[in-house]
Chain A
Amino acid sequence: AQKITQTQPGMFVQEKEAVTLDCTYDTSDPSYGLFWYKQPSSGEMIFLIYQGSYDQQNATEGRYSLNFQKARKSANLVISASQLGDSAMYFCAMREATSGTYKYIFGTGTRLKVLA
């Protein structure tokens, strides 16, 4: 069954340092996509980055990169050079492509606080 696990309810990081937010997943589908979203205190959901199961390279988008370790079923988000505006909830999500369910499933999230 499709499942996403985020084991860090909260994280702190010093401004300008890098931080890794953990995400592990479980699926029997060989084709799937992994997503990260940011939810600031204002409440909107902002898409950050995507990784496909067949992608050979780790995805990067500006200061965001996804550390994809397929054998370990992990898809950790790395934020480099943290900024105060990075303080938010971060959600990992997965979608299976070929199982026919087409569902996006989310983890429980990690609240990141960037310290000045």
Chain B
Amino acid sequence: NAGVTQTPKFQVLKTGQSMTLQCAQDMNHEYMSWYRQDPGMGLRLIHYSVGAGITDQGEVPNGYNVSRSTTEDFPLRLLSAAPSQTSVYFCASSLSTGLSSYEQYFGPGTRLTVT
């Protein structure tokens, strides 16, 4: 199993550009999520999904869109990049949405810089 994969690993965008961060998992996990990590702020939840076709907002959803057309993939779209979106982005997945005991598996992260 590759686990959770994210592409790209690094990206530099200009203000106003759009892009999609890719996330895939091969563990047949129901639950997937996106976080951003900023110094001193921990990991903040952007969007999450409890299964194909079902997504919901987290703590900081503004400026980001998601969709979940398959169990495996959960892309994160930046609609119009802003310098405030400079961050490290993590995708994560876990086995079940119904139980609390399943830990999340994390991808390696994408370091995004918006100039």
**Do A47 and B35 touch (CB < 8 A)?**
no
Q: A9-B40, A43-B108 are in contact. Are A96 and B100 (CB under 8 A)?
A: yes
A105: B residues at CB distance < 8 A: 45, 59
Q: Which 7 A-B pairs have the closest CB atoms?
A: A33-B100, A97-B100, A45-B106, A108-B42, A106-B43, A47-B103, A102-B97
Q: Is the C-beta of B75 less than 8 angstroms from some C-beta in chain A?
A: no
In terms of DSSP, what is the predominant structure of the interface of chain B?
strand
**Do A91 and B50 touch (CB < 8 A)?**
no
Chain A: residues with Cβ within 8 Å of the partner, total of: 27
Number of A-B residue pairs, CB cutoff 8 Å, is 61
- A47–B105 CA distance with the chains assembled, in angstroms: 8
**Do B58 and A103 touch (CB < 8 A)?**
yes
Instruction: Give the contacts of B89-114 with A (CB-CB under 8 A).
Output: 90, 92, 94, 97-101, 103-106, 108-109
- A9–B108 CA distance with the chains assembled, in angstroms: 23
Q: Which residues of A contact B (CB under 8 A)?
A: 6, 9, 31-33, 35, 43-45, 47, 50, 52-53, 91, 93, 95-97, 101-109
**Do A107 and B42 touch (CB < 8 A)?**
yes
Interface residues on B, range: 20 to 34
- A9–B109 CA distance with the chains assembled, in angstroms: 22
B106: A residues at CB distance < 8 A: 44-45
**Do B48 and A103 touch (CB < 8 A)?**
yes
Q: Is the C-beta of B27 less than 8 angstroms from some C-beta in chain A?
A: no
Taking CB as reference atom, which chain B residue is nearest A109? B42
Instruction: Give the contacts of B37-72 with A (CB-CB under 8 A).
Output: 40-45, 48, 50, 56, 58-59
**Do A108 and B104 touch (CB < 8 A)?**
no
Question: In the assembled complex, how far is the CB of residue A63 from the closest CB belonging to chain B, in whole angstroms?
Answer: 18
